[in-house]
Amino acid sequence: MPDPLNEINVTVTIAVQDGDYVWSYAGDVTNPSTGLITLPNNNPAKITYALCPETAAQYSFCFVNLSEAHATTRQITFIKIDRTSITIHDENLPGYTGVTPFGFRLIARSRGNINAPIVSPDPEVINEPGPRPPCE
């Protein structure tokens, strides 16, 4: 029987403060200011980032890029992007990445100016808790 899937839902808000775009995050295992997600166990994860209604009225998601510093492409098996959400499947297989964090850069754009991408900070996902066996 496969391990149960961790379903991580993160609500994303984009606000303008002093001319800068500020991203904030809300979710059960999510740091609100950094977007850092700590997986609750070593099971596979489905992470869904969804724009809050107020943000979705002004912005839309258009792309997700694996972090340059923390990419683990072997673990990512599926990415789906639509205007208001991004869903990422992480196999979270033991042994390949250990507890190495990985991250995504979420890319949004203003509905009024599609030529101006808004790039998120680098929210990370931490593969904790518990020891992970080495890969075979």
Structure confidence by residue, pLDDT tens digits, 26-53 = 998 888 888 888 887 778 889 999 999 9
User: What is the sign, positive or negative, of the torsion defined by CA atoms of 74, 27, 58, 82?
Assistant: positive
Distance CA 81, CA 85 (A): 6
Q: Is the pLDDT of residue 56 over 70?
A: yes
Distance CA 13, CA 15 (A): 6
What local confidence, expressed as pLDDT, does residue 135 receive?
45
What local confidence, expressed as pLDDT, does residue 85 receive?
96
Q: Are 106 and 12 in contact (CB under 8 A)?
A: yes
Domain carrying residue 35: 6-125
For residue 54, the one-letter residue type is E
Query: In the structure encoding, which two tokens stand for residue 125, read together?
Result: 């996902």
Q: What is the pTM of this model?
A: 0.81
Residue 133 counted as domain residue: no
Place of tokens 């500020």: 22
Residue 1 counted as domain residue: no
Residue 25 counted as domain residue: yes
Residue 131 counted as domain residue: no
Residue 136 counted as domain residue: no
**What's the CATH code of the domain at 23?**
2.60.40.420
- Within 8 A by CB and 6+ apart from 124, the residues are 34, 35, 36, 37, 67, 70, 101, 102, 103
Residue 37 counted as domain residue: yes
Residue 31 counted as domain residue: yes
Distance CA 26, CA 9 (A): 8
Number of domains in the chain: 1
